[in-house]
Amino acid sequence: MSNPDEEMEQYLKEFKPRAIRPLEAEAPSHRFRLRPLAIAAAIGLTAGLSVWVSRREVAVVPQLPREHQAQASAPFTERRMNSFLLTKLALEDNQTFDAVLTEESRKVLPNLQGQGSMLRVLAAE
Each domain of the chain, given as residue ranges in start order, spans: 54-111
pLDDT digits (tens, 9 = 90+) for 67-119: 554 454 545 444 566 788 888 888 988 898 888 888 888 777 766 777 767 67
User: What Rg do the C-alpha atoms of the chain give, in angstroms?
Assistant: 37
Instruction: Judge contact between 109 and 85, C-beta under 8 A.
Output: no
Q: What is the per-residue pLDDT across 22-73, written as a single tens digit (0 to 9) for each?
A: 888 877 666 667 888 889 999 999 999 988 887 776 656 666 665 554 454 5
Report the DSSP beta bridge partners of residue 80.
Answer: 60
The larger pLDDT score, comparing residue 13 to residue 30, is at: 13
Does the predicted TM-score (pTM) go above 0.75? no
User: Rounded to the nearest 5 degrees, what angle is found at the Cα of 93, between the Cα atoms of 56 and 105?
Assistant: 55
